[in-house]
Amino acid sequence: AMTDGKSKSLVAYHEVGHAICGTLTPGHDPVQKVTLIPRGQAKGLTWFTPGEDPTLISKSQIFARIVGTLGGRAAEEVIFGRAETTTGASSDLMQVSNMARQMVTAFGMSDVGPWSTSEGQSGDMIMRMMARNSMSEKLQTDIDVAVKKIADEAYEVALQQIRDNREAIDEVVELMIENETISGDEFREILEKYTEIPEENKKFLAPAM
Q: Is 15 in the active site?
A: yes
Among residues 155, 159, 175, 187, the alpha carbon closest in space to that of 46 is found at 187
C-alpha separations of 156 from 67, 75, 190 in Å? 9, 12, 24
Per DSSP, helices labelled H in 81-183 are 87-105, 123-132, 136-164, 166-179
C-alpha separations of 203 from 5, 49, 182, 189, 197 in Å? 37, 13, 21, 16, 11
User: Rounded CA gap, 195 and 188, in Å?
Assistant: 10
Q: Is 42 helix (H, G, I), strand (E, B) or coil?
A: strand
Q: Is 203 helix (H, G, I), strand (E, B) or coil?
A: coil
Antiparallel, parallel or unpaired: β 181-183 and 31-35: antiparallel
C-alpha separations of 83 from 9, 50, 88, 107, 121 in Å? 16, 33, 14, 35, 41
The catalytic residue positions are 15
